[in-house]
């Protein structure tokens, strides 16, 4: 996506004017074929909106989405429909996205028929195959969504996404609604399928805990902006943005007798209708200085595939890791 902007509302009604919500503000990022790219941030940071913009499930207010060299925001509906098959999305709540009155078989068969990928008996064969691919029994085809557990429903969602033979799958918090014990299973499934089918994955998550082992690169979003973008290991080892550090601090650390969750950044997330001036994170940042309140930091390429939007990232690094300066 290039310079993507999405504003909601802002249209004047007869009796009231809705506030403009700056959901995604000037976000640019490119995802490489075959990579797993994670978009992480607290709720309201615009990550789901960004995911929907990338698939053109919603239209950007400004900016473009280039997919295989073409700006898909300008594609006519018919061409977009053909592309949709290649780009699938898996939602957070698998139950809400599965029609309760349709059998699992017909849910999975729908994209196969729609895109003419198989006919007649071959459709059922394909459905059975897909169920097996996601670790479910082929007999389940005749059952209904309510007969399955959350983890199984997410597997059904994955099978439906795979039915269109996609190249790109976007998971919008695909495991957030699942029990922790089930999360790893679904993550492992996605990783296996990625290898098996040569997929590109974009995973949207609200924390950094679940995605570390599956991601190649991570974009951290705060109030509609990417504040840090980096390959996964450097991001976890030496986060450059104070907000990324905050997210890392919030990862539960196992302690005897249970899990301890450390505090997130102090203060509440400001409203996206009225983001703070200057650096949007300044109201919660422990390092904020006057400049941060006045000047908006741009996402800066700092080498090694790393990008950060913070006026003080270098000073903070020198202070926090005096013996391990960041390689330029």
Positions in the binding site for ligand SF4 (CB under 6 A): 241-242, 279, 281-282, 285, 287-288, 292, 297, 310-312
> Cα-flanking dihedrals φ and ψ of residue 118, to 5°?
-160, 160
Tokens 């790893």 belong to which residue?
Answer: 184
Select from ligand SF4, Mg ion, none the partner in contact with residue 287, using the beta carbon and a kind-dependent cut-off of 5 to 8 Å.
ligand SF4
CB of 229 to ligand SF4, least distance (A): 15
> Cα-flanking dihedrals φ and ψ of residue 110, to 5°?
-55, -55
Q: Which of 27, 39, 46, 48 binds Mg ion (CB under 5 A)?
A: 48
Spatial distance between the Cα atoms of 178 and 94, rounded to a whole number of angstroms: 10
Spatial distance between the Cα atoms of 35 and 149, rounded to a whole number of angstroms: 30
Q: Which of 191, 207, 187, 188 is nearest to 199 (CA)?
A: 191
Select from Mg ion, ligand SF4, none the partner in contact with residue 288, using the beta carbon and a kind-dependent cut-off of 5 to 8 Å.
ligand SF4
Q: Between 23 and 109, whose beta carbon lies closer to Mg ion?
A: 23
Contact 24/226 with Cβ under 8 angstroms? no
Q: CA 135 → CA 60, 112, 280, 291, distances in Å?
A: 37, 19, 43, 54
Q: Between 47 and 84, whose beta carbon lies closer to Mg ion?
A: 47
Tokens 């790109």 belong to which residue?
Answer: 168
In Å, how far from its chain's centre is CA 186? 15
CB of 299 to ligand SF4, least distance (A): 12
Select from Mg ion, ligand SF4, none the partner in contact with residue 174, using the beta carbon and a kind-dependent cut-off of 5 to 8 Å.
none
Select from ligand SF4, Mg ion, none the partner in contact with residue 44, using the beta carbon and a kind-dependent cut-off of 5 to 8 Å.
none
Q: Between 98 and 285, whose beta carbon lies closer to ligand SF4?
A: 285
Q: Which residues contact 104 (CB under 8 A, 6 or more apart)?
A: 131, 140, 141, 142, 143, 144, 145, 148, 156
Polymer length in residues for the chain: 328
Q: Which residues contact 193 (CB under 8 A, 6 or more apart)?
A: 133, 134, 158, 162, 199
Q: Between 27 and 141, whose beta carbon lies closer to Mg ion?
A: 27
Select from ligand SF4, Mg ion, none the partner in contact with residue 182, using the beta carbon and a kind-dependent cut-off of 5 to 8 Å.
none
219: helix, coil or strand?
A: strand
CB of 267 to ligand SF4, least distance (A): 12
Q: Between 44 and 297, whose beta carbon lies closer to Mg ion?
A: 44
CB of 210 to ligand SF4, least distance (A): 24
CB of 227 to ligand SF4, least distance (A): 7
Select from ligand SF4, Mg ion, none the partner in contact with residue 48, using the beta carbon and a kind-dependent cut-off of 5 to 8 Å.
Mg ion
Select from Mg ion, ligand SF4, none the partner in contact with residue 155, using the beta carbon and a kind-dependent cut-off of 5 to 8 Å.
none
Q: Between 55 and 279, whose beta carbon lies closer to ligand SF4?
A: 279
Q: Between 250 and 288, whose beta carbon lies closer to ligand SF4?
A: 288
Binding residues for Mg ion, rule: CB under 5 A, are 48
């Amino acid at each position: 996506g290039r310079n993507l902007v999405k504003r909601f509302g802002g249209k004047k009604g007869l009796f009231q004017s809705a506030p403009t919500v700056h959901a995604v503000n000037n976000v640019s990022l490119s995802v490489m074929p075959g990579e797993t790219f994670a978009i992480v941030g607290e709720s309201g940071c615009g990550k789901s909106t960004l995911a929907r913009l990338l698939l053109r499930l919603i239209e950007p207010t400004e900016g473009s989405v280039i997919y295989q060299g073409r700006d898909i925001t300008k594609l006519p509906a018919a061409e977009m429909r053909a592309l949709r098959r290649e780009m699938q999305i898996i939602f957070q709540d698998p139950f809400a996205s599965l029609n309760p009155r349709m059998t699992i078989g017909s849910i999975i068969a729908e994209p196969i028929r729609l895109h003419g990928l198989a006919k007649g008996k071959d459709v059922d064969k394909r459905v059975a195959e897909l169920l097996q691919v996601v670790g479910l029994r082929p007999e389940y085809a005749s059952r209904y969504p309510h007969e399955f557990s959350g983890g199984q429903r997410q597997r059904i969602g994955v099978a439906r996404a795979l039915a269109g033979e996609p190249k790109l799958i976007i998971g919008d918090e695909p495991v957030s609604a699942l029990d922790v014990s089930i999360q790893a299973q679904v993550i492992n499934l996605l990783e296996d399928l990625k290898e098996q089918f040569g997929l590109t994955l974009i995973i949207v998550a609200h924390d950094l805990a679940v995605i570390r082992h599956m991601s190649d690169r991570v974009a951290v979003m705060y109030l509609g902006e990417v504040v840090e973008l980096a390959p996964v290991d450097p991001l976890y080892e030496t986060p450059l943005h104070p907000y990324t550090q905050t997210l890392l601090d919030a990862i539960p650390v196992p302690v005897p007798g249970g899990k301890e969750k450390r505090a997130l950044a102090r203060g509440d997330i400001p409203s996206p209708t009225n983001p703070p001036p200057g650096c949007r994170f300044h109201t919660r940042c422990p390092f904020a200085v006057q400049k941060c309140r006045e000047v908006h930091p741009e996402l800066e390429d700092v080498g090694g595939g790393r990008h950060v939007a913070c006026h003080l990232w270098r000073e903070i690094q020198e202070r926090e890791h005096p013996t391990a300066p960041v390689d330029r």
